[in-house]
Amino acid sequence: MHLVDIALESLFAPPDERTEDGAAFGVRRLRFAPLAGAEVRLDEFTECTEARCAFLRLRPVAATRLQLHLAGEHGLDASALGGWLITPTDAAAPAYWLPTPPQLRRLDAQGHVLEERAIALAGLSVSHQAWEVAFELPGDGCLDMVVWRLDAGPSGLREGWDARLALESQPYHLWGSKVDVHLPAGLYRFLIHGEIYTDDFVWPRRWKFHSELDAHGLFNALTGLAAATGRHIYDLLRRQILLSVLLAQSEDGGWRQGEWTDLMEAHLRLHNAAMLILEAGLEESGDPALRDGLARATEFLLRHTDRTDIGLWFLHDSLETSAENMEIMREQTRTPWIPSRTLGKSPCNKLILNTHLDAIVALERYRRLTGAERHAGSVASAREAARTLLRLRPAERLYRLIYRAIDLTLLPKERAMRLSWPLRALKRLTWMYVQPNMHRIKRVWPRLVMPGGLIERHIAPLHFDLNYHPVNVMDILRYQRYFPGEDFSDLVDNAIDAAQRLDLLGYWAESKQRRFAIVVWTEALYHLCTLKNDTRYRGHLAAAMICAAKTGLGLPPALLGGDAEATPTARRRPCPCPQDARLRVANLARGTWSEVLVVNPHDHDLELAWEREAPQDLTWQGPAGTLPTPPTTVPAGGWVLGRAGVWSEPVS
């Protein structure tokens, strides 16, 4: 068996023969080879010289025993923040954080992760002279390992790793991968050798691909936790995410994921998420590297559009640019497609609403941050297309009849079982024959906003998916934040009424594949509550938060108050932290306005006390109205809302 011995200290000592991959937002990344078959990517922080992070990738050519060692006496302890700490007996010596065990991975030539498994520990030795750990590796694939070096210093970075606050113990849900994450250590389920991936082997190819959408959720979560906890490590991690996203940008300005095919196609929703991360960093720092990356990303986005009869339309992915690409997708994923010219679109354009709105938001945010007006005409045309499609109401009687039947297919099982047998038969026929053919009806009479308030995702694709109803609502609200003159209040209220009438929370909760919609619905209501000062919407948000917790899901990261769209950097307020981790919190504060929503998803009352950032001088209320004194408990399955200050409409 081949032996590879690496001193842990050497991962943080780049030789003269190293490459600088890039620098931005207070981080620079170096790359070097400590030995044959190995590569280290080392992140250094310009504002915190006491911390560095090394990604080690080893590609053994034969069965190998890997030994990692440290000189001197060290202890190994589990950290309350996840992973393990290697702590020296000499307080002046560096400590090391191992956030996750080493992983064996098999990758293809395009960087997809095809297989992943943990590696067994082959040996551990601790003495007064040295600390050593060993692993046995097969001769295929690669070993990935991440290590932080934490030097002693005035930043306090090495303090407090033995305890965590309630907010730090709670999971946060990333709807890109549809998984929960516990931070900070859980970040490295996604950040693999300096690149952001999904944390799921996603349909249809069953591989992990680069995911800027997950990166955006992680960035928002870490931003919120940094403010709420005061821990410096969260700020370093978010900087690391931003640099990783920037370095993944292609020469032509795009981010490519290859979610579906070997073409490494770009999915514009994920591209837009990368833009939003860079825009958040630019708002904070003014870093010219981010400005340059955004300028190139904007040009890429504008090259993936379609001129339709209703205006400019942003494509959902780069496969939509040609029939040849769509045929390759059909062959590699067995996903059929039928070309159409509805509304004068190109045959391949699927007319997907949420990505179109998302692109408009990303471009408008870029314009406001940089003052660039070059694409104002394109954005205006895209806005007209969005308005037109959202207002289309053809064949009202036909759609009303169809959706009375479709409503039956969206009921939770308990309600569906109580239907009369004729309605149950109609429900089955609708599921079997009507829904699969909705694309034919929409091509003749195109519309997305349906009678009863439900909003469909697209016009052209063959499949039918109302689990994107909350995504559409969220993106409409994000759009309205930037263009308040375009009032979609009636559309949004009808969408909320539809969710209440059908009990969509119960419907989504019944299936693992649908549950992500609960989290997106929660985030949509969060955006609504930051836009409108209406207690009714807070009640809806509380119900969604309770449903998410009872279903075993984490909350969306935006609820911590770190989403730069909803809360610009200058107006950000730390999220209050209750002592009881079973309580869930939404931070609705900004600027001089204080507001916190606390929910109890459990079947017994919970004490309400605060361990950090305790809200002060708030007026409290519950579902029944104003409370005479600040609450000391939150009732079972209930909520309380504290507010103070003068409400003002948010300014983007």
Of the pLDDT bands very low, low, confident and very high (cuts 50, 70, 90), residue 105 is very high
> What whole-number percentage of the chain has pLDDT above 90?
88
- With bands split at pLDDT 50, 70 and 90, how would you rate the model's confidence at 60? confident
What value does the CA radius of gyration of the chain take, rounded to a whole number of Å?
26
Question: Cα separation of 10 and 8, whole Å?
Answer: 5
Neighbours of 203 (CB within 10 A): 10
Angle subtended by helix axes 353-370 and 376-391, to nearest 10: 150
Q: Are strands 2-7 and 584-587 parallel, antiparallel or unpaired?
A: unpaired
Distance CA 70, CA 129 (A): 9
pLDDT digits (tens, 9 = 90+) for 561-576: 999 999 999 999 999 9
- 483-520: pLDDT as tens digits: 999 989 999 999 999 999 999 999 999 999 999 999 99
* pLDDT at position 140 over 90: no
Residue 650 has pLDDT above 90, yes or no: no
Q: What percent of the chain has pLDDT over 70?
A: 99
The per-residue pLDDT for 361 is 98
Work out whether strand 38-45 and strand 113-118 pair parallel, antiparallel, or are unpaired. Answer: unpaired
| Per-residue pLDDT reduced to its tens digit, 417-444 | 999 999 999 999 999 999 999 999 999 9
Report the pLDDT averaged over residues 471-481: 98
pTM of the prediction? 0.97
DSSP string, 170-237: S-EEETTTTEEE-TTGGGGGTEETTEEB-SS-BTTTTBB-B-HHHHHHHHHHHHHHHHHH--HHHHHH
Q: What is the pLDDT of residues 148-167, one digit of tens each?
A: 999 998 888 999 999 999 99
More confident: 462 or 182: 182
Q: Which pLDDT does position 273 carry in this prediction?
A: 98
pLDDT at residue number 639: 98
**What is the band of 643 on the pLDDT scale with cuts at 50, 70, 90?**
very high
pLDDT band at 316 (very low <50, low <70, confident <90, very high): very high
pLDDT of 463 reads 82
pLDDT at 652 over 70: no
Residue 582 scores a pLDDT above 90: yes
Per-residue pLDDT averaged across 90-96, rounded? Answer: 93
Is residue 533's pLDDT more than 70? yes
| Separation between Cα atoms, residue 31 and residue 116, nearest integer Å | 24
> Does pLDDT of 651 surpass 60?
no
Quick check: 199 and 244 in contact, CB under 8 A?
no
C-alpha to C-alpha distance for 623 and 311, rounded to whole angstroms: 44
pLDDT of residue 128 exceeding 80? no
Residue 8 has pLDDT above 80, yes or no: yes
Tell me the domain boundaries of the chain: 1-163, 175-392, 395-513
Alpha-carbon separation of residue 556 from 28, 45, 520, 542, 560 (angstroms): 29, 28, 7, 13, 8
Higher pLDDT, 138 or 126: 138
Residues with Cβ < 8 Å from 91, sequence gap 6 or more?
152
- pLDDT tens digits for 353-393? 999 999 999 999 999 999 999 999 999 999 999 999 999 99
With a cut of 70, say whether residue 6 has pLDDT above it: yes
Those residues whose C-beta lies under 8 Å from the C-beta of residue 570, and which sit 6 or more positions away, are none
Contacts of 457 (CB under 8 A, 6+ apart): 352, 353, 354, 448, 465, 466, 468, 471, 472
501: nearest Cα among 540, 448, 475: 540
> Euclidean distance between the first and final Cα of the chain, in Å?
60
Mean predicted confidence (pLDDT) in 53-70:
92
> How does residue 311 score in pLDDT terms, banded at 50, 70 and 90?
very high
Mean pLDDT value of segment 173-200: 97
Kindly state the tokens that stand for 373: 């007006």
- Indicate the pLDDT class of residue 123, thresholds 50, 70 and 90: confident
461: pLDDT confidence band, cut at 50, 70 and 90? confident
* Predicted local confidence at residue 464, as pLDDT: 83
